[in-house]
Amino acid sequence: MNTLIHVLILHSSQARSDELYGELSNFNDLDVRKPLEPTIDPNEFFRTDHSDVILLDADYLGNGYGLGQAVIEAFPSKSIIILDDNSTMENMKKALRMGISDVLPSSADTETLVESVYRSQVKKLQWQESIKSSKGRVPAGKVSRGKIISFFSTKGGVGTTFLAVNFAVLLRNETQKRVALVDLNLNYGNVALALNLPVRNSINDVVNEIRNIDGDLIESFMVTHESGLKVLASNPDPQLGDFVNGDHIQVILSTLQESFDYIVLDLPSDFLEVIRPVFALTNTLFMVTTPDILALSNVKSALILLREMNFPAARVRLALNRLSRSSMSKSRVERTLDMPVSFTIPEDASGVYASLNIGSPYVGTKKPFKKTGSIEQAVRSFIEEDQSVGSVV
């Protein structure tokens, strides 16, 4: 963002106000101000104030939320970020519905605050643009569309999330292209946790803005992993996942396809109604299984259902996870399912456990775990296949 953003700090604690002022003043594109003393007549004050964003303490003049609402009603172009240490999910939702940009703890770190300030401006621009024009949002002449790679299993616990996360990180590392990872386990997703990423925004924020959505706005709700992978997390509050429907998912994926080269999806372990649209958009579907009869029987049923849904068999790949010396062999799995295994990942409890404990992915961690090769091979052969298909088209 090149233009200067005018930020006003209204905090009931002078000490915190000074601190915030000091921290935010370090940013060249922020012009930060704070009144010398609490404003007694807010209406008079805001009339002459030129701020774009107001950081407003929930206790300011006894009722920060009320003041925030009044300011938004009178000056809709201003963005309000409430600082509240005692915010509950309920009042956060209420605040967002009122048009407040964000609610953060008063002690939020500088990075969080600044990110929220920038995001509020992205939203505002988006809002202004949507008012100005009702033209189609797909840029003319843009033909390349991102590929969707879905990881799926109808049996939980086989390692779908584990593979989706690690595949995405490696795909980003190997290609340096734009790679997104979307957690579609809407109620109990743990992609962000597996990558040790903080969840400040989630797919629910995208859904709240679905009418105005474009690539930049979705990206403002994603978290960036150190590899450069962009992650769209599922909602940390399980009930909120219920607000997301199939149409939302279709819009989100089509929008991501406009700005990412690859979109990796971690799917829930069922053909839920809400994820049905995913299959029509998927270019490569990795069916994840473990080498045991229960999991294989699930895969068989899932393959039948996919066929009934007219999902092209040529897009299905089998990923065999947790293969060990004592498990069923790869060739027996292939015979049982009558299809080739695309890649295998060994059982590696200690490696996986260690990667989870340090919150970094199994692949790409500095500590060389013995058997990381398999996911790397999987990613490399995917890239080769993708490039050869790409060169033919």
Ligand X SMILES: Nc1ncnc2c1ncn2[C@@H]1O[C@H](COP(=O)(O)OP(=O)(O)O)[C@@H](O)[C@H]1O
Q: Which residues bind ligand X (CB under 6 A)?
A: 153, 156-162, 269, 321-322, 345, 347-349, 352, 356
Closest separation between CB of residue 113 and Mg ion, Å?
A: 32
Cα-based distances in Å from 284 to 185, 260, 265, 279, 300? 19, 16, 10, 9, 18
* Contact between 210 and 130 (Cβ < 8 Å): no
Say which residue the tokens 């498990």 belong to.
Answer: 327
Most distant pair of Cα atoms in the chain: their distance: 78
Closest separation between CB of residue 144 and ligand X, Å?
A: 30
Closest separation between CB of residue 288 and ligand X, Å?
A: 6
Closest separation between CB of residue 52 and ligand X, Å?
A: 42
Of Mg ion, ligand X, none, which one sits near residue 349, judging by CB under 5 to 8 A according to partner kind? Answer: ligand X
40 versus 349: smaller Cβ distance to ligand X: 349
Closest separation between CB of residue 160 and Mg ion, Å?
A: 5
Of Mg ion, ligand X, none, which one sits near residue 157, judging by CB under 5 to 8 A according to partner kind? Answer: ligand X
Provide the terminal-to-terminal Cα distance of the chain, rounded to the nearest Å: 37
When CB distances to Mg ion are compared, the closest residue is: 161
The residues binding Mg ion (CB under 5 A) are 160-161
- In terms of residues, how long is the chain? 393
95 versus 164: smaller Cβ distance to ligand X: 164
How far is residue 391's CA from residue 341's CA, in Å, rounded to a whole number? 25
165 versus 218: smaller Cβ distance to ligand X: 165
Closest separation between CB of residue 244 and ligand X, Å?
A: 19
193 versus 383: smaller Cβ distance to ligand X: 193
Radius of gyration of the chain (CA): 24
161 versus 220: smaller Cβ distance to Mg ion: 161
Say which residue the tokens 């909602």 belong to.
Answer: 235
Two structure tokens written together for 17: 């106000």
Which regions of 110-237 does DSSP assign to beta strands (E)? Answer: 147-152, 179-183, 223-224, 230-232
151 versus 262: smaller Cβ distance to ligand X: 151
